[in-house]
Structure 1
């Protein structure tokens, strides 16, 4: 069993006695045009973590799962340990299958924070997100949220930590008009669903806080026992955007989270760039 350690990130308050040459930054430009980066890459080399109910190994719609952990709470606190156990309710497998379809060559790992019948606690969710962020995954898919205000401050700190280190959290908005977290934070990529027939269409929302819409209505998703079902919800729109993030990063791995948002924005089907044909 491994208890997660949480080293404090280094802080830089100012640049004193150094100039531009002392802080060089190797950077990638956004895909030009952005569609080429989305369509021309497969996610190869990008590590995606599904924080959810686990992922069923070797499901035909998911394929290989690199590593799996579970978060659990006992009398001594909240802990993380590696596990061979898969999915307990199907939700995480569904999300992983969409990521695999969208970015077929990415590396998928799982952190299980939900149990049977979608049971879970805020403490376990926080630890799962913290673990994924501090493992420095490239993309974290979070198709769940909490409405409890007492977790907001710590969730915000984790979301900011991820943002500043270059880990992209893609988070589902609540399926109803409920304010929940962490999708509500500007440091994450928030996702709702649209009902268009095109399974590869994503849209930018001109009236955030939900920033992007993706396919989420009557989607065929992987389910337990190697099966599939059709289901609806923002949960299934979110891994589509997570997969697109993996594809963009596969071609431009040094993009920052704000550059990645911009690439998603420019490639959205409803965005018309002024001066372009």
Structure 2
């Protein structure tokens, strides 16, 4: 018997009451910045919809997946690098192997500490999958050598993907749009964004 896929989803939170997702959400938390301090609590309600959409992509690929939702992006999809670093450090000693990040940092001058944290997670056997920023050749952590970077592209069929461990962005997924969950038990068409594809791993 195969083990269930257990994934951390770092995004805008998730609608834990969505009919399609509610049996797959095993918990969650939120990281935010209060003045100069990073705070954490258990309110991971999705006020944007992006995280809920990404959760539905994960479930489409792995029906019995267990998702731990981590809200690091606000209702406008924004965060800062310190929030992301603290959220990743939290999982250094937690029992989760797969961490999904559908977000990006553009400025490479700010990413040295982030790279170090990703390296420590990899040393502990964690797998970080991160989408490339839309319209960019490089973004972080997707372009780190200790992270699996993913972007979408039009491939020959909807189930195809391309992978090379020697590339800067190692995985390219077919980016045909399809319906995904949105908050309040609704659905919408997820457009051709890289963030939609970084959790479509195949067994």
TM over 0.5: yes
Report the structure, 1 or 2, having the larger strand content.
2
1:149 matches 2:84: no
Contact kept in structure 1, 2:158 and 2:176, CA below 8 Å: no
Larger radius of gyration: 1
Contact kept in structure 2, 1:98 and 1:239, CA below 8 Å: yes
CA distance in 2, matches of 1:71, 1:105: 26
1:127 matches 2:86: yes
Structure 2 residue corresponding to 1:214, chosen from 173, 178, 181: 173
Give the secondary structure class of the aligned counterpart of 2:197: helix
Contact kept in structure 1, 2:155 and 2:161, CA below 8 Å: no
Contact kept in structure 2, 1:66 and 1:109, CA below 8 Å: yes
The equivalent residue for 2:118 is: 159
1:239 matches 2:199: yes
CA distance in 2, matches of 1:49, 1:183: 16
Gaps of 5+ in 1: 1-39, 249-277
CA distance in 1, matches of 2:137, 2:61: 28
CA distance in 2, matches of 1:63, 1:199: 27
The equivalent residue for 1:185 is: 144
Q: Deviations over 1:105-154 (max 9, x none)?
A: 12101110111121222211222222234424110010101012343111
1:68 matches 2:42: no
1:111 matches 2:48: no
Q: 1:204 to 1:133 in 2, by over 3 A?
A: same
Contact kept in structure 2, 1:191 and 1:234, CA below 8 Å: yes
Q: Normalized against structure 1, the TM-score is what?
A: 0.67
Give the secondary structure class of the aligned counterpart of 2:134: coil
Q: 1:206 to 1:185 in 2, by over 3 A?
A: closer
Q: Calculate the aligned-residue CA RMSD, in Å.
A: 2.1
CA distance in 2, matches of 1:155, 1:82: 24
Deviation, structure 1 residue 76: 5.7
The equivalent residue for 2:11 is: 52
Q: 1:206 to 1:72 in 2, by over 3 A?
A: closer
Give the secondary structure class of the aligned counterpart of 1:117: coil
Gaps of 5+ in 2: none
Q: Normalized against structure 2, the TM-score is what?
A: 0.89
Deviation, structure 1 residue 221: 1.7
**Consecutive aligned runs of 4 or more in structure 1 exceeding 4 Å deviation:** none
The equivalent residue for 1:200 is: 159
Q: 1:72 to 1:240 in 2, by over 3 A?
A: same
CA distance in 2, matches of 1:153, 1:136: 25
Q: 1:58 to 1:197 in 2, by over 3 A?
A: farther
CA distance in 2, matches of 1:174, 1:120: 14
Give the secondary structure class of the aligned counterpart of 2:198: helix
The equivalent residue for 1:77 is: 37
Q: 1:71 to 1:214 in 2, by over 3 A?
A: same
Q: 1:133 to 1:232 in 2, by over 3 A?
A: farther
Structure 2 residue corresponding to 1:88, chosen from 43, 47, 55: 47
